Amino acid sequence: MRLDLEFPDERRRPRELQMSEVPVSDGVAEVPPPPPPDALAVRMERNEELSNVNSFPKIPRPPHERNQKPVEIADPPRVERRPRRDHDPRNDVGIGVHLRPQEIKALSELGRFRVVAVRDLAETVYGGDRSALERDLDYLEKKGIVTLRSVNARRDGSWRQPERIQVVTLTRPGKKMVRQVGTLRQDQQLYAGLVKPREVEHDTQIYRAYLKEMERIESLSGSNPRVVLDFEIKRNVQRALYAQRKADPERDVNEIKEQVANEFNLPYVDNQIQIPDARIEYDLDQGSRVGSSDIEVVTGAYRPGHLRGKAQAGFRLYAGARDRARLVRDIEDEHHMLHEILDL
C-alpha cells in the first residue's frame, strides 16, 4: 500500500526539493546565511565552557571598598571537650553517652537517696570542686539523665526570704543507667524524680546524716552498705498489716502492729510502729554477720512528744544547727534529750 504525504510548508519538504530551489549564480550555488543560533543551544555551550573552569571568576570590588584593609577573622573559640583519659568502654551506656567514674558515683548516690543537694555532691564526690560537678551535671541534664531544680528552704515562721537550695534527682532513664553501670548491691532500691517538694530540705539532710553514720559504721569494720529509705519501709509494713488483718479480721489491731514491728525489727512505742527516715544495713566480719542502724533527721517542727518517741525507739538522731537551736527553745523541760541529738 502506498502512502502519499503532503508538505504544507517548506520545513517539512524533502531535502531534494529544497536543494533544487537554491538560487544559482554563474553556475555556483548561492548558500544562504546560517540561521541565528538557538538560545538554548547558546546556554548549553556556555555551561559547557564554565564546567571546565576550576574557579569562580573574580568579581571586582566596588570603588569605595578598594582601598580598605582586609578584615582579620579571629579564630573560633575552643570548645572544651570532656576528658577521655579515664575512658572505660564498660561505662558507655548508650549512643553518645559516656559516664566517668565520678558521674557514676554521683548518680548512684542520687538513686539511693532520691534527692541530694548539689553542694553536698560537690563536697563528697568531687572533693569540693564545684565547677567540675556543674560541668558534669550540665552534660547529664542535656542527656536526660538527671533533673536540676532550685527549691525554697523552710521558712520556720521567719519573715526573711527563704534560702534557695539547688537539688538534683535522677530521671527514669537515669535510674536504668545506674542499675546498668553502678556498683550497688542488687537488693538496693533506686528512686527517680522528686516526690515531696516541701520536704526537700529535710530529705537532703538524710544524705548528710548517712555520711556521718557511715563514719561510725566503718570504724566498726562495717562494709557493703544498703540504704533503706522510709518509702520502702512504710510500703513493706503496710503490706504486712493488710495481709494480717485480711487473714484474721477479728484480731486486735495493736497485737497485729506489734507482730509486724517485730517482723521488720522496728521499735513499737506507744502503740505505734516507729519508722526511721532511713535504715543502713551493712556486713560485719566479712559478711558472716549483718548489722543495721536507723537514722532520723529531726527538725525544729518536731514536738516534744514526737521527739521523745524517736529517742525511745533508739534511733540515731541528727539535726542541723538551725533546727537544734529551735529545739532548745521548745523542749526547755527535757534538755536531756538534746544530748542524744547529733550534729550534722
DSSP 205-236: HHHHHHHHHHHHHHHTT-EEEEEEEHHHHHHH
Residue 54 in domain:
no
Do 181 and 267 share a domain, yes or no?
no
Residue 18 in domain:
no
The domain boundary, picked from 171, 195, 219, lies at 195
Burial zone of 269 (CB within 10 Å; 0-12 exposed, 13-18 middle, 19+ buried)? middle
* Tally of domains within the chain: 2
Do 212 and 156 share a domain, yes or no?
no
Residue 127 in domain:
yes
The domain boundary, picked from 195, 219, 234, lies at 195
Closest alpha carbon to 318 in 278, 266, 268, 290: 278
> Any idea what DSSP says for residue 301?
T
Do 213 and 157 share a domain, yes or no?
no
- What 3-state class would DSSP assign to 76? coil
pLDDT at 7: 47
Per-residue pLDDT of the chain (344 residues; tens, 9 = 90+): 555 545 455 454 555 545 555 555 555 556 666 666 677 777 777 777 766 655 555 556 666 555 655 555 455 455 444 554 455 554 555 556 788 899 999 999 999 999 999 999 999 999 999 999 999 999 999 999 999 999 887 766 555 667 889 999 999 999 999 988 878 999 999 999 988 888 898 999 999 999 999 999 999 999 999 999 999 999 999 999 999 999 999 999 999 999 999 999 999 988 899 999 999 999 998 888 999 999 999 988 888 778 888 888 899 999 988 888 787 776 666 666 667 788 88
- Beta bridge partner(s), residue 152: 164
Do 281 and 342 share a domain, yes or no?
yes
Instruction: Give the Cα-Cα-Cα angle 303, 272, 324 (nearest 5 degrees).
Output: 25
Do 252 and 137 share a domain, yes or no?
no
Do 188 and 200 share a domain, yes or no?
no
- Measure the CA–CA gap between 271 and 264, rounded to whole angstroms: 16
Residue 32 in domain:
no
pLDDT at 52: 60
The set of cell numbers assigned to 123 is: 563536697
Residue 69 in domain:
no
Do 307 and 341 share a domain, yes or no?
yes
Residue 60 in domain:
no
Find the CATH number of the domain harbouring 130: 1.10.10.10
The set of cell numbers assigned to 338 is: 538534746
Do 286 and 201 share a domain, yes or no?
yes
- Measure the CA–CA gap between 195 and 115, rounded to whole angstroms: 9
The domain boundary, picked from 166, 195, 224, lies at 195
Do 320 and 291 share a domain, yes or no?
yes
Do 274 and 330 share a domain, yes or no?
yes
The set of cell numbers assigned to 219 is: 570504724
Task: Supply the range of the domain harboring residue 108.
Answer: 88-195
Sign of the CA dihedral with 47 first, then 50, 56, and 59 last: negative
- Report whether 341 contacts 327 (CB < 8 A): yes
191-199 contact pairs (CB < 8 A, 24+): 191/111, 191/112, 191/113, 191/114, 191/229, 191/231, 192/111, 192/114, 193/114, 193/147, 193/169, 194/114, 194/115, 194/147, 194/149, 194/167, 194/169, 195/114, 195/231, 197/151
pLDDT at 207: 96
The model's pTM is 0.69
Do 137 and 258 share a domain, yes or no?
no
Do 228 and 259 share a domain, yes or no?
yes
pLDDT at 265: 94
Q: Report the largest interatomic distance among the alpha carbons of the chain, rounded to a whole angstrom.
A: 144
pLDDT at 339: 73
Burial zone of 188 (CB within 10 Å; 0-12 exposed, 13-18 middle, 19+ buried)? middle
- What 3-state class would DSSP assign to 267? coil
Residue 151 in domain:
yes
Residue 312 in domain:
yes
- Beta bridge partner(s), residue 294: 279
Distance in angstroms between the alpha carbons of the first and the last residue of the chain: 115
- Measure the CA–CA gap between 245 and 255, rounded to whole angstroms: 10
Q: Which amino acid is at 111?
A: G
pLDDT at 81: 46
